[in-house]
Amino acid sequence: MKSLIHDLLGLFILAALSLLFGISLNLFRHDPLPWKYQSREERLEKDLSQLGSLQIPIAPTSIPPAEVLSLEEFNEFVNSRHGIILDARIRYLYNQGHVPAALSLSGETFLNSYKLLENQLNKDLPLVIYCSNINCGDSELVRRMLIRLGYKDVALFRGGWAEWTQANLPVEKSP
């Protein structure tokens, strides 16, 4: 019995030390993990507030519905080169293949991606955002953030990468 109590006490001490060690490591991280779960929308909202470049704050509920392009309309947009194409997938997938001339603006890493692209984006040009497929919500999240940053003409291609590649349309790859 004494051995069992001794083992349980040792286990408790080991668990407590592990917890303290983990908390200490998190405190010193560049981007510490939050204490409570944050949805992707909450994380993007936090990213948006860190940008500090909101000229006119737009409430998330006042964002108009998106113009949605068909495959044919999106293909015409890509070929016309009169606007900017944004890929909202993670960078790894973007590097594996993307729509020609598309720029990577990942919903997963919006803050860092936006900072890298900010000088290449023009608020006067139309933007079209795509994601993996019709079920991927990253393109809509990125669209809402861009509208809140002052971009006005932001459309979606919901079919995304899946529909584009199934139609055997041209692709580019990044090194």
pLDDT at 69: 96
Tell me the pLDDT band of 57, cut-offs 50, 70 and 90: low
Tell me the pLDDT band of 56, cut-offs 50, 70 and 90: very low
Q: CATH assignment of 40-166, given 3.30.365.10, 3.40.1350.10, 3.40.250.10, 1.10.10.10?
A: 3.40.250.10
Mean pLDDT of the chain: 87
pLDDT at 85: 97
> Is residue 122 within 8 Å of residue 152, measured between CB atoms?
no
Residue 97, CA distances (Å) to 53, 89, 148 in order: 31, 11, 28
Tokens of 121: 């984006």
- For the cut 50, the answer to whether the pLDDT of residue 20 exceeds it is yes
Where are the chain's structural domains? Answer: 1-33, 40-166
pLDDT digits (tens, 9 = 90+) for 81-110: 899 999 999 999 999 999 999 999 998 888
- For the cut 60, the answer to whether the pLDDT of residue 156 exceeds it is yes
Residues 6+ away with beta carbon under 8 Å from 45: 60
Q: How far apart are CA 47 and CA 145, in angstroms?
A: 9
Q: Which of 128, 155, 145 is nearest to 43 (CA)?
A: 145
Distance of CA 13 to the CA centre of its chain: 40
Tokens of 168: 């055997």
**Per the confidence metrics, is the pTM higher than 0.85?**
no
